[in-house]
Amino acid sequence: MNETLKNISERYSCRDFADTPLTDGQVEALVGAALAAPSAMNLQPWHITVVTDKGLIDELDTYGMAILAADEDKAYYERVMARGGKIFYNAPSLFVIASDGSKYAALDSGIMCQNIVLAAQSLGLGSCIIGMLRIPLSGPRGGEFKKRLQFPDGYEFAISIIVGTVKSGKEPHEPDKGKVSYVSA
């Protein structure tokens, strides 16, 4: 199996990270992979913020958990608590993709996200795509956090990825081949 297919098949959503910060070389490699993502008409409707400030990551985590704890529907809160009580699973870095909201921005941001997680896998790092950053960004302090995350004017949260050294791993999920149809001549 070639290396690309191997990275795709072995990648999983890591939820247990070591305290080890990413190196500057790892960060730059991941940013390079992100920026190499294709986009519709090459409009590149995204902005990426790389957060390695563990204090800010922990602040976003604590604020998000407080919002979840106050919600009447406890499903997300209980799920996160069962996995250690941290939205960002103690990851040392957070890659935040904001988009301009244009027609293909969500799809293009997703492609960029996939580049980051596959690049992380190829570097021997763990990653997890995290949509739950939306929680602290939509709370009363959301505007403040968007400023601190350097969102350009008019841009909104698209998706985020946590990346770091794996503390304990797991097997990737089993592909469901029942989700595939083939149409041929």
Query: Against a cut of 0.85, is the pTM above it?
Result: yes
pLDDT in tens, 103-142: 999 999 999 999 999 999 999 999 999 999 999 999 999 9
Domains contained in the chain, CATH given? 14-166 (3.40.109.10)
Of the candidates 40, 55, 154, 170, the residue with the CA atom closest to the CA atom of residue 105: 40
pLDDT in tens, 88-102: 999 999 999 999 999
Q: Give the Cα-Cα-Cα angle 158, 135, 104 (nearest 5 degrees).
A: 15
* Cα→Cα distances 134→29, 141, 145, 161, 162, Å: 26, 12, 11, 12, 14
